[in-house]
Amino acid sequence: MKLIESNANEFKLFLNDKFEKVVVSFLNSKDGGNIYLGVDDLGQPVGLKEVDKTQLEVKDRIKNNISPSTLGLFDVVIEEMSNHQIIHVIIASGTEKPYYIRRKGMSPEGCFTRIGSSVESMNNEMIIDLFSRRTKNSLKSIISPQQSLTFSQLKIFYDEVGYEIGGNFLNQLELINDDGKFNYVAYLLSDNNNISIQVAKYQGLDSYNLIENEEFGHCCLVKATKNVLNRLEIENRTFTKITSIERKEVKKIDPIALREAVINAIVHNDYSNEYAAKFELFDDRLEISSIGGLPERFTKEDFLGGFSAPKNKELMRVFKDVGLVEQLGTGIRRILRSYPVDIYAFYPNFIKVTFKFKDNTLKMINDTNDEEISDIQKQILLIIETEPKITQEKMASQLNVHKRTIIRHMNTLESYQLIRRVGDNRTGHWEILN
């Protein structure tokens, strides 16, 4: 990968005393950014000595030297680039701006922002403006409706991944506010709460005939999330796709995309009104709705580009600790590797993602007159359903035919109005028309 220093990328040969300034500038920016340690100004990797020790120091400096709390807003990953070990620090846009270097305070000497590829001090007017717009209804600032909370389920999940749980466990996870009361994050992660996540199943293509409605919740949100994932995995049945090359077992929904969408919907949901994410199964699709619109100052393009601005950073931190989230900002990109961007629909108060089931293509093929569609055309349809962004060259290689053969048959399928091209040749995808 060729890296270019920009408003989103910063290169450093080693960890120096200006590191916190760069982190603060990304936290205060709209989109966050990346810091690469062990990379020169031209984007060439040179590597680091004692990379494990440096990784621990990076985490310690971000957690302890910057305010407000940065937990859940950064990730520190050791990566290999051109046979060199470097450190990739991923910084999300924070929700409690302005962030500042703790020893300098909330002042021009402590607050920084990103202008192009440079780090600039904020003036007093910018600092006051950001502080006045600081999120007032963050989950951490909302007092739990119950104060007799227990966390045995959450502690089990931490034990399972090998985390040492000390006596300061609740403070470390920011579940207790300065006044000593449990906040709403604690409420969501406690053994008992009133948050219910619904998985509804309908017969047909609309919500008229409800045949099944299961509730998952009233428990630690981590446990509820795993229960929802297990329930949807049962629905995500496997069917067999046979090509001239191999026999493949294919899921109705790509398993990685499904997992990421479920976790994103739950961890980024707006719980301030006690509404949870909703999951609805129809004969031809799964719809996942997450309460709350786009993050403040975010556009659709920012969201779909994978820029990270965790709505509930405390939940994000916990979900990452217990292995439900792998790395900041990767969820949307993982989903869009397998699906086009139009699976997302944006509304003022919620975001919906729709996964159409892949086995509908098999039904469509079986319902089509065999005299109208050839075997190779059926295989093309199945490949498109599995990989809508596939190139004609790759398809020809899979089916062991010439590219001209693929083009001819795809033109025929287009003339039958069974497929169409959406977008341009470079970034677009194929769509099957039922």
* Structure confidence by residue, pLDDT tens digits, 173-210: 889 988 889 999 999 999 999 888 999 999 888 888 88
Tokens 């409420």 -> residue: 187
User: Residues near 25 by Cβ (< 8 Å), separated by ≥ 6?
Assistant: 33, 112, 113, 114, 119, 120
| 35, β-bridge pairs | 10, 89
The mean of the pLDDT values for the chain is 85
- Residue 220 in this model has a pLDDT that exceeds 70: yes
* Tally of CA atoms within 13 A in the half-sphere of 237 that contains its CB: 10
Q: What secondary structure, in 3-state letters, does the chain show?
A: CCCCCCCCEEEECCCCCCHHHHHHHHHCCCCCEEEEECECCCCCECCCCCHHHHHHHHHHHHHHHEECCCCCCEEEEEEEECCEEEEEEEECCCCCCCCEECCCCCCCCCCEEEECCEEEECCHHHHHHHHHCCCCCCHHHCECCCCCCCCHHHHHHHHHCCCCCCCCHHHHCCCECCCCCEEHHHHHHCCCCCCEEEEEEECCCCCCCEEEEEEEECCCHHHHHHHHHHHHHHHCCEEEEECCCCEEEEECCCHHHHHHHHHHHHHCCCCCCCCCCEEEECCCEEEEEEECCCCCCCCHHHHHCCCCCCCCHHHHHHHHHCCCCCCCCCHHHHHHCCCCHHHEEECCCEEEEEEECCHHHHHHHHHCCCCCCCHHHHHHHHHHHHCCCCCHHHHHHHHCCCHHHHHHHHHHHHHCCCEEEECCCCCCEEEECC
- Residue 262 in this model has a pLDDT that exceeds 80: yes
Determine the Cα–Cα distance for residues 362 and 48; give it in Å rounded to an integer: 52
Neighbours of 22 (CB within 10 A): 19
Task: Tell me the domains of the chain and their CATH numbers.
Answer: 9-132 (3.30.950.30), 139-189 (no CATH), 196-356 (3.30.565.60), 361-432 (1.10.10.10)
Least confidently predicted of 98-107, 168-177, 227-236: 168-177
User: What pLDDT is stored for residue 248 in this prediction?
Assistant: 58
- Please work out, in degrees rounded to the nearest 5, the angle formed at the alpha carbon of residue 204 by the alpha carbons of 199 and 208: 70
User: What pLDDT is stored for residue 375 in this prediction?
Assistant: 78
**Could you tell me which residue, 44 or 248, shows the higher pLDDT?**
44
- Residue 383 in this model has a pLDDT that exceeds 90: no
Using pLDDT thresholds of 50, 70 and 90, give the confidence band for residue 261.
very high
| 355, β-bridge pairs | 286
Closest residue by Cα to residue 232 from 279, 268, 275 = 279
- Residue 66 in this model has a pLDDT that exceeds 90: yes
| 422, β-bridge pairs | 429
Using pLDDT thresholds of 50, 70 and 90, give the confidence band for residue 236.
confident
Using pLDDT thresholds of 50, 70 and 90, give the confidence band for residue 244.
very low
Residues 59, 76 contacting (CB under 8 angstroms): yes
* Tally of CA atoms within 13 A in the half-sphere of 194 that contains its CB: 8
- Residue 307 in this model has a pLDDT that exceeds 70: no
Which token pair is 92? Answer: 């999300």
Which token pair is 34? Answer: 């990346």
- Residue 36 in this model has a pLDDT that exceeds 80: yes
User: What pLDDT is stored for residue 100 in this prediction?
Assistant: 93
* Structure confidence by residue, pLDDT tens digits, 74-129: 999 999 888 899 999 999 888 888 999 999 988 999 999 998 888 999 998 888 88
Determine the Cα–Cα distance for residues 73 and 96; give it in Å rounded to an integer: 11
User: Residues near 93 by Cβ (< 8 Å), separated by ≥ 6?
Assistant: 26, 27, 29, 30, 31, 32, 295, 307, 308, 309
User: Residues near 365 by Cβ (< 8 Å), separated by ≥ 6?
Assistant: 373, 378, 381, 382
Q: Report the length, in residues, of the chain.
A: 434
